[in-house]
Structure 1
Amino acid sequence: MVYAAKKFINNPNDVVTEFIEGLVETYPGLQYLDGFPEVKVVLRADVSAEKYDKVAVISGGGSGHEPAHAGYVGEGMLTAAICGDVFASPPVDSILAGIRAVTGRQGCLLIVKNYTGDRLNFGLAAEQAKSEGYKVETVIVGEDCALPPPRGITGRRGLAGTVLVHKVAGAAAAAGLSLEIVAAEAKCASEMVGTMGVALSVCTLPGQVTSDRLGPEKMELGLGIHGEPGAAVVDVQPVDVVVSHVLQQILSPETNYVPITRGNRVVLMVNGLGGTPLMELMIAAGKAVPKLQLEFGLAVDRVYTGFFMTSLDMAGFSISIMKSDQSILDRLDAPTKAPNWPVGTDGNRPPAKIPVPIPTSRSTKSAESQSRPQELSQQGRILEAAIQAAATVIISLKDSLNEWDGKVGDGDCGSTMYRGATAILEDMKHYYPLNDAAETVNEIGASIRRAMGGTSGIIYNLLCKAAYAELKANAKSEVTPKHWSEALKSSIASVSKYGGATAGYRTMLDALIPASQALEEKLSAGEDPISAFILSAEAATTGAESTIQMQAQAGRSSYVSAEILATVPDPGAMAAAGWYSAAARAVKEQYESSS
């Protein structure tokens, strides 16, 4: 019998919220935004946007990496941290709430780890904040030295070295420097650091079964902080050998990951990934310093050893090396009250939580206008059936999608899609104006943005936004099959523009692009619309299944070897094909029953 891993938790869906509650009770200098369950933002208790006269430094990402990122909120480091669900990028609304809560006239710097979901969500939030009048700069950190470039469009992952960038930027902001200078210092620091991790076990997500991917005598080199497969699985080696390999990988002149050469000064960080005893981390640090000095000819200015950016309960560690000079050291040595660099409190205890700030320009809908009409038109009934069928299929696919994603990603595709589907079914009962197709699509996007998070959430939100704009502009009365075809084409173009993927990249677009092409082709040829829809659904399924033969060029799967990818199809493509096909069948059944 298979059991979920034992954890000291309540409901797995509540772990992030309950972590934040414990954090702010432990450290009186921190608060969190209260008001909407999907907004999980930790911020300095001594900062308010109206009065703050320095650059705000904001970071964040998926939870499960504690103490990153919330543990680095404090004077001299981060002004706010945005917490997504476990291993899932925080939604745009959370990021915007954090920006609005702490950003004053000097603006804010967003420090973002290089993952597709983080880039998309923080990027969209930055653009929205700029449209509201905020000054915003963004620095992307990608310092992974485990995998050789290039990695498709994705690039190098952001790892524990990001924490060093937080410290540099936070100290520069505390010194009263301008947004442009703070951003420039953070960017420079991000280009001076390299990181590589090793692990003896993979991590276990709350409420899920522990993976047995690594046997008792194996270790993985370059394992990702979300449990993604690394560069190689090898026999367990003594820590001396492991440390030498990691240092060589980071500092090798052939790869040229970091601009560090013999005679330079460096900072060393040995970071535990969650399940490694401090004793073992100290042993690794003790071996790394003389190797850096004697074998690589480097002067080690600072050594930081401990837990900086973990991966839940993963047994392993990472090593980060940053090129240093006196200006970098001044930033790293500058005082901070961030709890985990190091713990700093003054005993004052303001309220633990404050309300989520609402943008002044935000219009509010009355309960009456949000309610769905009592009488549905034929179009409304068809749309209702299609949404119901699509969401229900996604719910049924949860475990299969998680299983596939566990082999090529971080194992949460099904859970993420499940959250979106259940939110859609619940919101449809109250808020979707089903007689208005465009507005219904827009409301679906709002449900997804609120509930899903991660890369999938922002991509599906982009899909809905583009489809809404197309339908609103061109479908003045009843929405025709041609309108739906153009809306699908616009959605695909939007996702490709912002996400960078296209056909053959092993993403959800490998299901949607064939569907769109087939639908347009069949309608142009005069095919019956229902038949055209069914045939396009078949094209979506064929396209999704064909991803098993593709090498990923986007997303976390781009870090996975071709051998592993060839064992399963892309879970995102299979999910897209699933809901699209279910919607097509539902539309066909509705037309047949009404004729």
Structure 2
Amino acid sequence: MKKIINDSSRVVDEMIEGFCFAHQELVKKIDDYRVIVSRDIENQVGLVSGGGSGHEPAHAGFVGEGMLSAAVCGEVFSSPTPDQVLEGIKASDNGQGVLLVVKNYTGDVLNFDMAKELAEMEDIAVETVLVDDDIAVEDSTYTAGKRGVAGTIFVHKILGAYARQGKTLKELKELGDDLVGRIKTIGVALTAATVPEVGKPGFNLKADELEYGVGIHGEPGYLRETLKTSKDIAKELVEKLSQSFTFKEDGQYGVLVNGLGATPLMEQYVFLNDVKKELAESNMQIAYTKVGNYMTSLDMAGLSLTIIEFSGTTEIAALNEEVTTPSWG
């Protein structure tokens, strides 16, 4: 295992320290907690997200004006504890309540729910939006139901814009639940991620193999086969996504190509070009595109494809709004 680290048991803490130093004008760390908060908490509903580390820039990279109020960092691929989440909630509350954006993993769901109960005991109103956009499999490792993956970033961005507009906690909860139902994601892996404390890849793929549907923690996918061209991969993923959508010729859609950590932007843009050609056959209107590393899996080679069906122009405008965060460019 080759990693630029010191002590594998200290990776998360040292990463957080470096992150906060690099972006000290935007964020700060709560003392004694793995919680990163915006230096400018707005007079609005607070937005808190988080989960296991190893998915950077998610979630800390999206803390700041216009997106998240706070991000809570667990150990690598492990949920943050309820007390950590509670501190994030308390730091984000301006008296208008806090919305939790939670990816659907058993540990995250349990610990964020427990933190919600603790916050309500301190008279903080809290609601939760659960993201389960991964259509590859259900009831996989760590998960009851579908997994939450890169589509979570669209939720952060759109709800962040709505919170800035002054939407209430109740409104954000309703909008978020509706939004999640129109976001679908599926991924492909060429190599597995290596967790520092484990020291070896989470699964093995031969040099000429890929696996469709792998999760962001290395959970099993639905098909392993010989390496394909970008064009063939795009065809497979678009076909799977089309089974979850009824693509409408007059509908407007957004596309996110998300790198999983070790796939160069060159390859991501090649893949997007092939996705564009596949989607053109459906006569869909692609109103928004985003390419880059947003929800990674350490050093996994591969990518995911997310499609969002817009309910109107307000969501497109929300995605295009400028924000002040470390990682939304």
The verdict on a shared fold, with TM-score over 0.5 as the criterion, is yes
Match status 1:238 vs 2:225: no
Alpha-carbon separation, structure 2, partners of 1:150 and 1:19: 31
Alpha-carbon separation, structure 2, partners of 1:40 and 1:261: 44
Residue of 147, 164, 172 corresponding to 2:162: 172
Match status 1:228 vs 2:219: yes
Deviations 1:396-432 (A, max 9, x none): xxxxxxxxxxxxxxxxxxxxxxxxxxxxxxxxxxxxx
In the TM superposition, residue 210 of structure 1 has moved relative to its aligned partner by 2.5
Alpha-carbon separation, structure 1, partners of 2:99 and 2:248: 30
In the TM superposition, residue 259 of structure 1 has moved relative to its aligned partner by 5.4
TM-score, length basis structure 1: 0.53
Alpha-carbon separation, structure 1, partners of 2:151 and 2:327: 15
Contiguous gaps of at least 5 residues in structure 2? none
Deviations 1:13-44 (A, max 9, x none): 1111111111111112110111x2xx200110
Deviations 1:426-461 (A, max 9, x none): xxxxxxxxxxxxxxxxxxxxxxxxxxxxxxxxxxxx
**1:161 touches 1:193 (CA, 8 Å); kept in 2?**
yes
Question: Could you tell me which residue of structure 2 aligns to residue 188 of structure 1?
Answer: 178
Which secondary structure state, in structure 1, belongs to the residue aligned with residue 73 of structure 2? Answer: strand
Higher RCO (CA-CA < 8 Å; seq separation 6+): 2
TM-score, length basis structure 2: 0.95
Question: Could you tell me which residue of structure 1 aligns to residue 106 of structure 2?
Answer: 116
In the TM superposition, residue 102 of structure 1 has moved relative to its aligned partner by 1.6
Match status 1:17 vs 2:13: yes
Question: Could you tell me which residue of structure 1 aligns to residue 287 of structure 2?
Answer: 301
Which secondary structure state, in structure 2, belongs to the residue aligned with residue 42 of structure 1? Answer: strand
Match status 1:202 vs 2:196: no
Alpha-carbon separation, structure 2, partners of 1:327 and 1:188: 14
Deviations 1:496-540 (A, max 9, x none): xxxxxxxxxxxxxxxxxxxxxxxxxxxxxxxxxxxxxxxxxxxxx
Question: Could you tell me which residue of structure 2 aligns to residue 67 of structure 1?
Answer: 57
User: Does the C-alpha gap of structure 1 residues 13 and 151 become closer, same or farther in structure 2, counting only changes over 3 Å?
Assistant: closer
Amino acid of the structure 2 residue aligned with 1:13:
S
Alpha-carbon separation, structure 2, partners of 1:220 and 1:150: 18
Residue of 316, 339, 342 corresponding to 2:302: 316
Alpha-carbon separation, structure 1, partners of 2:251 and 2:199: 45
User: Does the C-alpha gap of structure 1 residues 33 and 150 become closer, same or farther in structure 2, counting only changes over 3 Å?
Assistant: closer
Alpha-carbon separation, structure 1, partners of 2:301 and 2:81: 29
Amino acid of the structure 2 residue aligned with 1:83:
C
Amino acid of the structure 2 residue aligned with 1:80:
A
Residue of 95, 99, 103 corresponding to 1:105: 95
1:144-543 matches, within 5 Å, as 144-147=134-137, 154-211=144-201, 213-252=204-243, 257-258=244-245, 260-293=247-280, 295-324=281-310, 325-342=312-329
Amino acid of the structure 2 residue aligned with 1:315:
A
Deviations 1:273-332 (A, max 9, x none): 001111100101111112212x22211111100001000000000000001220111111
In the TM superposition, residue 10 of structure 1 has moved relative to its aligned partner by 0.8
Deviations 1:141-199 (A, max 9, x none): 0011112x577981100000000000011000111111111222222221111000001
Alpha-carbon separation, structure 2, partners of 1:180 and 1:53: 16
Alpha-carbon separation, structure 2, partners of 1:57 and 1:274: 25
In the TM superposition, residue 229 of structure 1 has moved relative to its aligned partner by 1.6
Amino acid of the structure 2 residue aligned with 1:329:
I
**1:223 touches 1:230 (CA, 8 Å); kept in 2?**
yes
**1:262 touches 1:298 (CA, 8 Å); kept in 2?**
yes
Alpha-carbon separation, structure 1, partners of 2:240 and 2:200: 29
Residue of 7, 26, 29 corresponding to 2:26: 29
Higher strand share: 2
Alpha-carbon separation, structure 2, partners of 1:151 and 1:312: 20
**2:211 touches 2:224 (CA, 8 Å); kept in 1?**
yes
**1:139 touches 1:183 (CA, 8 Å); kept in 2?**
yes
- The structure number with the bigger radius of gyration is 1
User: Does the C-alpha gap of structure 1 residues 258 and 140 become closer, same or farther in structure 2, counting only changes over 3 Å?
Assistant: farther
Higher helix share: 1
Amino acid of the structure 2 residue aligned with 1:55:
V
Deviations 1:523-570 (A, max 9, x none): xxxxxxxxxxxxxxxxxxxxxxxxxxxxxxxxxxxxxxxxxxxxxxxx
Which secondary structure state, in structure 1, belongs to the residue aligned with residue 228 of structure 2? Answer: coil
Match status 1:127 vs 2:117: yes
Alpha-carbon separation, structure 2, partners of 1:267 and 1:88: 30
In the TM superposition, residue 207 of structure 1 has moved relative to its aligned partner by 3.6
Alpha-carbon separation, structure 2, partners of 1:155 and 1:66: 24
Amino acid of the structure 2 residue aligned with 1:210:
K
In the TM superposition, residue 100 of structure 1 has moved relative to its aligned partner by 0.9
Contiguous gaps of at least 5 residues in structure 1? 343-595
Task: List 4+ stretches of structure 1 deviating above 2 A.
Answer: 149-153, 207-212, 257-263
Alpha-carbon separation, structure 2, partners of 1:225 and 1:268: 19
In the TM superposition, residue 260 of structure 1 has moved relative to its aligned partner by 4.0
**1:165 touches 1:189 (CA, 8 Å); kept in 2?**
yes
Alpha-carbon separation, structure 1, partners of 2:321 and 2:66: 7
Amino acid of the structure 1 residue aligned with 2:6:
N
Alpha-carbon separation, structure 1, partners of 2:247 and 2:15: 38
Alpha-carbon separation, structure 2, partners of 1:15 and 1:8: 10
